[in-house]
Amino acid sequence: MPATRRFSQDQIDAAAALLRAGGLVAFPTETVYGLGADATDDLAVARIYQAKGRPSFNPLIAHVPDVAKAREIAVFSPEAEALAAAFWPGALTLVLPLRTDAQISKLVTAGLDTVALRVPQHPLAQQLLSAVGRPVAAPSANPSGRISPTAPDHVLAGLDGAIDGVVLGGACPVGLESTIVGLAPAPTLLRPGGVATGDIEEVIGIGLSTPGAEITAPGQLASHYAPGAPLRMNATEPRAGEVYLGFGPGAATVNLSPSGDLVEAAANLFGHLHKLDQMGAPIAVAPVPETGLGQAINDRLRRAAAPRT
């Protein structure tokens, strides 16, 4: 990959063009710097995981410039509308039911039927999102397991050379990730963050429940994608009656990547599993190497293969 481009504040249109072309561009929000990718582009979103070295496909937050754009992606209850009116733009993320007609990569939602949405307030984030004209998926712009970046230097310390660009926007005023509230359906605090819990409770008029032990790691459990039919991993060929999810050259019902490219495979994973699931037959999956993004792919496949509870 060519060197990471530095975009000054008057080069937002160039940064937006890079995002629209499938690039990875870090940008400031009032909470932390996000590592952005076109949320409608499977391959671009897959590259986020590659650049961060993320071991599993946690669902990502989709960023949009205003609530009207958010309503194109998720179903808004009256409570969701009230929270959006009170805190957007700002440091609040809402997890809402995904619209069936939403234009969004399944890699953003990790195949779930909910989606995390945020309208950031930072003026450069606002300009960038408006210029991109598509939702932008963005986790914090740091390598997995490192602390979140609140200045361009932090972003470059971790990801210089691994991403296509960074918008130089100075320090983040909030410096702490957004508060995440789930509303599918009961108001639940999924992650404390930049907006105080009490302020949120005041708007909805009731206390937020905190997730029980079973969902203390929202990304982990929420990303548990289970097809209706049983799934068998490390299958070098299908047995009678099975559909076959291939990887690398050879015959398959559908192939994650005929050339054996793990980034392409990650981009295709959730879409292909859905396709096979709709065929209703047991699913056999070709071996996928445990290297690079293969680790995350196998993590997701193991969850899908695990005995149903």
- Could you say which DSSP state residue 106 is in? H
- Compute the least distance from the CB of residue 205 to ligand TXA, in Å: 23
| 56 part of the interface to Mg ion, by CB under 5 A | no
Contacts of 138 (CB under 8 A, 6+ apart): 27, 29, 34, 35, 36, 37, 48, 60, 61, 63
Nearer to Mg ion, 56 or 127 (CB): 56
Angle at 9 between CA 6 and CA 15, to 5 degrees: 55
Which amino acid, 157?
Answer: A
Interface with ligand TXA, residue 159, by CB under 6 A: no
Between the alpha carbon of residue 108 and those of residues 7, 112, 235, 241, the distances in Å are 25, 9, 27, 31
71 vs 146, beta carbon nearer Mg ion: 146
| Least separation in angstroms between CB 27 and ligand TXA | 8
CB of 16 to ligand TXA, least distance (A): 17
Cα 172 to Cα 29, 97, 124, distances in angstroms:
6, 29, 11
Residue 181: which of 74, 280, 257 has the closest Cα?
Answer: 74
Q: Does 222 bind ligand TXA (CB under 6 A)?
A: yes
- In the window 174-213, what residues touch ligand TXA (CB under 6 A)? 177-178, 180, 190-191
Closest CB 112 distance from ligand TXA, rounded Å: 5
Please give the Cα distance from 290 to 294 (Å, whole number). 5
298 binds, among ligand TXA, Mg ion, none (CB under 5 to 8 A by kind): none
Tell me the C-alpha distance between 295 and 244, whole Å. Answer: 20
Which residues are bridge partners to 35 per DSSP? 26
Count of C-beta atoms within a 10 Å radius of residue 186: 10
Among 29, 31, 105, 140, binds Mg ion (CB under 5 A): 140
The partner residues of 61 in beta bridges, in order of sequence, read 116
Residue number, nearest CB to ligand TXA: 219
Report the residue from 139, 149, 165, 169 that binds ligand TXA according to the rule CB under 6 A. Answer: 139
Q: State in angstroms the smallest separation of the CB of 180 from ligand TXA.
A: 5
Looking at residue 274, its amino acid is H
CB of 177 to ligand TXA, least distance (A): 4
Of 140, 257, 268, 298, the residue at the interface with ligand TXA (CB under 6 A) is 140
Per CB under 6 A, which of residues 106..135 are in contact with ligand TXA? 109, 112, 114-116, 118
308, HSE (Cβ side, Cα atoms, 13 Å): 7
What tokens appear for 198 in the block? 């009490």
Task: For ligand TXA, give the closer residue by CB, 58 or 197.
Answer: 58
With CB under 5 A as the contact rule, which of the stretches 45-53, 137-145, 204-212, 263-271 interacts with Mg ion? 137-145
DSSP-derived pairing of the beta strands 114-118 and 92-97: antiparallel
Cβ atoms of 204 and 83 within 8 Å: the answer is yes
Give 48 or 245: the residue with its C-beta nearer to Mg ion. Answer: 48
Q: Does 178 bind Mg ion (CB under 5 A)?
A: no
Closest distance between ligand TXA and the C-beta of residue 239, in Å? 34
Q: Which residues bind ligand TXA (CB under 6 A)?
A: 29, 31-32, 34, 58-61, 93, 95, 109, 112, 114-116, 118, 138-140, 177-178, 180, 190-191, 218-219, 222
